[in-house]
A = this chain, B = another copy of it.
Amino acid sequence: MSDIDRIRAEVCALHAELLRWGLVTWTSGNVSARVPGEELLVIKPSGVSYDDLTPETMIVTDLDGKVVAGDRSPSSDTAAHAYVYRAMPEVGGVVHTHSPYATAWAARGEAIPCAITAMGDEFGDDIPVGPFALIGDDSIGQGIVATLRGHRSPAVLMRQHGVFTIGGSARAAVKAAVMCEDVARTMHLARQLGPVERLPQPDIDRLHDRYQNVYGQPAVDENPQGVEA
């Protein structure tokens, strides 16, 4: 199996994780992966039901979003994914969702405060809010990059829109999207009945450092951000 065929299969399979963890409705979210060593990405076709996705239906584009292989139009969010790959060479995967709890924080334009240990582990900080931007040019991609470059969090809440996450691999970006919704929900529920204190910064730093550098299986190379349980 060629590198691109392997990535088509992986990107296809990861869409099932978005569905399984309740992050997407109808056709509203998408995953992409960079093709290592090439100026290419693999992404979901636009408007196709998750049930109908197969590795063969995945679209290959260049890093300007121009279709290189595939019979259909790529996701309407391809321009945002492509911008991120151009601007951040360390990124190997990008995910976009309108997952409900995280998008609720985005709708208010409110960052999720780092108040539970799971946030310290995975995000190392508050989950930040990015600017409002319309689809149609590079505005969304620029907003993602301006917010996440130099930030520990792999997730950004794009104002009045939804979530974008990044990772060293597509799987790591999917994990970040799943955990973003998880902590968005827990923090939503917590705040409904009273105030919640942010963790002290030194504790956040220790949690994040340990989680990124100490834990997980030594040689799980498909999951370079480290894992927990």
Interface positions of A (Cβ within 8 A of B): 21, 25-30, 44-48, 72-73, 75-77, 98, 100-101, 103-108, 110, 115-118, 134-136, 160-162, 175, 178-179, 182, 185-197, 199, 203, 206-207, 210, 215-218, 220, 223, 226-229
In the bound complex, residues from chain B placing their C-beta under 8 Å from that of A75 are 229
Copies in the complex: 4
A100 and B161 contact, CB distance less than 8 A: no
A196 and B108 contact, CB distance less than 8 A: yes
A47 and B195 contact, CB distance less than 8 A: no
Q: Name which of A116, A178, A197, A206 has the most chain B CB atoms within 10 A of its CB.
A: A116
The 8 listed contacts between A and B (C-beta, < 8 Å) are A46-B217, A46-B227, A98-B186, A104-B186, A108-B193, A108-B196, A116-B161, A118-B161
Of B44, B196, B210, the contact of A135 (CB 8 Å cutoff)? B210
B134 and A203 contact, CB distance less than 8 A: yes
Given A28-B228, A28-B229, A227-B47, check contact A136 B189 (CB 8 Å): no
A186 and B27 contact, CB distance less than 8 A: no
Given A107-B115, A108-B193, A193-B108, check contact A25 B179 (CB 8 Å): yes
A48 and B229 contact, CB distance less than 8 A: yes
A229 and B189 contact, CB distance less than 8 A: no
CB distance from A152 to the nearest CB of B (A): 18
A104 and B193 contact, CB distance less than 8 A: yes
In the bound complex, residues from chain B placing their C-beta under 8 Å from that of A179 are 25-26, 28
